[in-house]
């Protein structure tokens, strides 16, 4: 390898190569002092960095030139010198081994040089003579990580594009269909990539479900187009092979100049994760992009291991039965809200605080969006998401995805969704912070639609009954009615986070009646106790407040007629647009 060419290689590349190379490698400064050793070098010489760094490499590692020349280092590092030196090395077990040293200067020639000092002996010869099968992945037939490591320095001197590909959810394929199905999917992917990679390209299985293709002398636009074709070909091949699986691949593309391969690998990986976070293609052009944190959260519909008394169990499966019994007008209201919002078919839509799916599935939101769009159902309660997912399956909706997250901390990329909706969730959170989070993830020109309860007077018997909940809320700076909204408050809240209200509607009045004490307790879980849990109040404190509240309620309930527990409630709805 030409020394002058290698002098232009980025020093960061040398360090990455140094760390991963499976032969003894040392970093040495221009005057021959040791700077660092890789793990293989430490094992080979039986030394630790703290004992040898800063000392003369030739001396401390007992490297003796075969010709006995004491000026070997000066000769080796002289400009234009041959970069290889034959020598003898004494290893910790007392053996004297014949070897050769490859001296490779890194960095600009005008800068202080750092040398990559590679000891080639039996280990290096074995690496060089690895049989072909040892450089091939047995499942896909492509080159493996060993081949990548052997090729990386040569490719660092060239220009081109790197394409990172990832088989999404391979673990789920293995879990649902078996590892044989996963292997068949990997094999099909490898066969397609080998068939369509252009001459001179390097195509390897980089990791478990990751593939890397290095395209020589290729621009980023051409590489992106090639990657898209590759994804299409792999999906077609899997369908033709009757795998019963349509693979979903994410990809990232990055161009590199000579010396820039390492940085390009990182950039392509970052872009891949952006693509990997796109749930589904939306015909509107909008796309919901999950962050890495979001990808972890979306893998399951929720946390089935909810603790008794926790926020999750406060909205368990029984809540749907309660809600339908308590609010018979709720389903009609859900349909009215969806009609009022008028979502565009094929758009990218997020619902926050979705609960058990009343708006999404009963209200017709999923039907309006359709399979050509994206629909992400979010809620901070894992138990609620389990109910919502079951609800979706019963109704035949198999395209919505479920993400456990609160409105004010959505693990999503900014400015991507077409529409974000939320109904009757503001009383559980900080409304301004929640609306700010919704406005952040919607694209410029996109819309945010919200419906919230308006402040109302509680029926007379509630004063005494609610005192334990009211007292605990007040102790933590959470007024009981807040944020039930005063008239016009929703418009002001939306304006405060930069949204432009386009239209508003008043829904109701609706009668909120409590024909049984158990239904009243469920309502207080919504309005008070859940807010305490969300505010970080210890569950023991919440349990005390609930116990005292329940005692008062059960004692008071038989003493008052049904009408005395009835309230008239209005709901304010608004659709706002994010300025372009």
With 0-12 / 13-18 / 19 or more C-beta atoms within 10 angstroms meaning exposed / middle / buried, residue 96 is exposed
Same structural domain, 452 and 529: yes
Q: Can you give the pLDDT at residue 240?
A: 66
Banded model confidence at residue 161, pLDDT cuts 50, 70, 90: very high
Mean of all residue pLDDT scores within the chain: 78
Q: Can you give the pLDDT at residue 484?
A: 77
Q: Looking at per-residue confidence, does 519 or 331 come out higher? A: 331
Enter the pTM of the model: 0.58
70-79, 198-207, 377-386, 391-400: range with lowest mean pLDDT:
70-79
Judged against a pLDDT cut of 70, whether residue 169 lies above it is answered with no
- For residue 336, whether the previous peptide bond is cis, meaning omega lies within 30 degrees of 0, is no
Question: In this predicted model, what pLDDT tens digit does every residue of 349-383 receive, in sequence order?
Answer: 999 998 888 899 989 999 999 988 999 999 887 77
Banded model confidence at residue 16, pLDDT cuts 50, 70, 90: very low
Residue 146 lies in a domain: yes
Question: In this predicted model, what pLDDT tens digit does every residue of 500-536 receive, in sequence order?
Answer: 999 999 887 777 777 778 777 777 776 777 677 667 7
154-163, 226-235, 359-368, 507-516: range with lowest mean pLDDT:
507-516
Q: Can you give the pLDDT at residue 368?
A: 94
Residue 18 lies in a domain: yes
- Contact status, residue 190 vs residue 198, Cβ threshold 8 Å: no
Judged against a pLDDT cut of 90, whether residue 573 lies above it is answered with yes
- Contact status, residue 86 vs residue 106, Cβ threshold 8 Å: no
Same structural domain, 445 and 527: yes
Mean pLDDT for 56-85 is 71
DSSP category for residue 360: I
Judged against a pLDDT cut of 90, whether residue 49 lies above it is answered with no
Q: Can you give the pLDDT at residue 579?
A: 94
Mean pLDDT for 251-255 is 91
Same structural domain, 469 and 553: yes
Please name the residues in contact with 236: beta carbons below 8 A apart, sequence gap of 6 or more.
none
Judged against a pLDDT cut of 70, whether residue 77 lies above it is answered with no
Same structural domain, 305 and 375: yes
Domain count, the chain: 3
- For residue 326, whether the previous peptide bond is cis, meaning omega lies within 30 degrees of 0, is no
Same structural domain, 72 and 174: no
Residue 287 lies in a domain: no
List the CATH number of the domain containing 227: 3.30.70.270
- Give the CA count within 13 Å in the CB-facing half-sphere of 453: 21
CA–CA separation, 87 and 100 (whole Å) = 6
Q: Can you give the pLDDT at residue 236?
A: 81
Question: In this predicted model, what pLDDT tens digit does every residue of 18-42 receive, in sequence order?
Answer: 555 566 777 777 777 887 787 777 8
- Contact status, residue 72 vs residue 84, Cβ threshold 8 Å: no
Q: Can you give the pLDDT at residue 2?
A: 33
Last residue of a domain, one of 128, 143, 169: 128
Same structural domain, 139 and 96: no
Q: Can you give the pLDDT at residue 62?
A: 80
List the CATH number of the domain containing 406: 3.40.50.150
Mean pLDDT for 229-239 is 83
Residue 284 lies in a domain: no
Judged against a pLDDT cut of 80, whether residue 245 lies above it is answered with no
Last residue of a domain, one of 81, 101, 128: 128
Same structural domain, 113 and 29: yes
Q: Looking at per-residue confidence, does 517 or 111 come out higher? A: 517
Torsion of CA 348, 351, 356, 358, to 10 degrees: -80
Question: What domain range is 78 assigned to?
Answer: 3-128
Q: Can you give the pLDDT at residue 307?
A: 36
Listing from the earlier edge strand, what are the strands of the sheet with 114-120? 34-37, 25-28, 114-120, 96-106, 84-90, 63-65
Q: Looking at per-residue confidence, does 60 or 293 come out higher? A: 60
């Amino acid at each position: 390898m030409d020394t002058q060419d290698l002098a232009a290689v980025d020093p960061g590349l040398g360090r990455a190569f140094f760390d991963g190379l499976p032969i003894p490698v040392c970093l040495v400064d221009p005057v021959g002092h040791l700077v660092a050793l890789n793990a293989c070098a430490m094992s080979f010489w039986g030394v630790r960095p703290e004992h040898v760094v800063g000392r003369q490499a030739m001396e401390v590692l007992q490297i003796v030139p075969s010709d006995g020349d004491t000026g070997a280092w000066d000769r080796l590092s002289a400009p234009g010198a041959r970069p290889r030196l034959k020598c003898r090395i004494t290893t910790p077990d007392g053996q004297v081994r014949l070897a050769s040293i490859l001296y490779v200067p890194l960095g600009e020639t005008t800068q202080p040089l750092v040398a990559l000092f590679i000891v080639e002996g039996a280990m290096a010869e074995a690496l060089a003579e690895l049989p072909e099968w040892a450089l091939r992945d047995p499942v896909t037939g492509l080159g493996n990580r060993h081949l990548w490591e052997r090729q990386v320095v040569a490719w660092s001197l060239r220009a081109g594009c790197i394409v990172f590909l990832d088989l999404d959810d391979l673990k789920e394929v293995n879990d649902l269909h078996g590892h044989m199905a996963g292997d068949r999917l990997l094999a099909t992917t490898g066969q397609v990539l080998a068939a369509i990679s252009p001459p001179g390209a390097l195509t390897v299985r980089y990791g478990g479900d990751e593939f890397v293709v290095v395209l020589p002398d290729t621009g980023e636009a051409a590489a992106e187009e090639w990657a898209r074709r590759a994804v299409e070909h792999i999906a077609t091949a899997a369908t033709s092979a009757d795998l019963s699986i349509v693979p979903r691949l994410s990809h990232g593309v990055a161009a590199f100049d000579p010396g820039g391969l390492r940085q390009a690998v990182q950039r392509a990986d970052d872009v891949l994760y952006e693509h990997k976070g796109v749930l589904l293609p939306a015909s509107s052009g909008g796309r919901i992009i999950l962050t890495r944190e979001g990808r972890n959260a979306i893998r399951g519909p929720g946390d089935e291991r909810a603790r008794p008394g926790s926020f999750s169990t406060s909205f368990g499966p029984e809540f749907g039965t309660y809600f339908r019994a308590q609010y018979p007008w709720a389903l009609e209201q859900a349909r009215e809200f969806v009609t009022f919002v008028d979502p565009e078919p094929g758009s990218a839509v997020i619902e926050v605080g979705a609960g058990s799916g009343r708006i999404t599935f009963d209200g017709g939101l999923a039907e309006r969006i359709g399979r050509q769009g994206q629909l992400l159902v979010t809620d901070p309660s894992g138990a609620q998401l389990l109910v919502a997912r079951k609800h979706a399956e019963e109704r035949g909706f198999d395209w919505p995805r479920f993400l456990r997250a609160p409105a004010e901390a959505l693990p999503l990329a900014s400015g991507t969704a077409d529409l974000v909706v939320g109904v009757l969730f503001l009383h559980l959170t900080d409304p301004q912070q929640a609306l700010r989070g919704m406005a952040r993830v919607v694209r410029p020109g996109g819309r945010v639609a919200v419906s919230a309860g308006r402040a109302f007077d509680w029926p007379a018997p509630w004063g005494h009954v609610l005192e334990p909940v009211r007292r605990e809320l007040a102790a933590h700076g959470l007024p009981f009615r807040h944020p039930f909204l005063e008239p016009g408050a929703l418009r002001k809240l939306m304006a405060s986070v930069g949204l432009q209200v386009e239209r508003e509607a008043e829904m109701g009045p609706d009668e909120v009646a409590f024909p049984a004490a158990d239904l009243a307790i469920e309502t207080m879980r919504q309005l008070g106790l859940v807010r305490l849990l969300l505010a970080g109040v210890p569950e023991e404190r919440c349990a005390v407040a609930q116990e005292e509240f329940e005692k008062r309620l059960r004692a008071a309930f038989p003493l008052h007629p049904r009408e005395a527990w009835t309230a008239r409630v209005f709901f304010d709805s608004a659709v706002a647009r994010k300025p372009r």
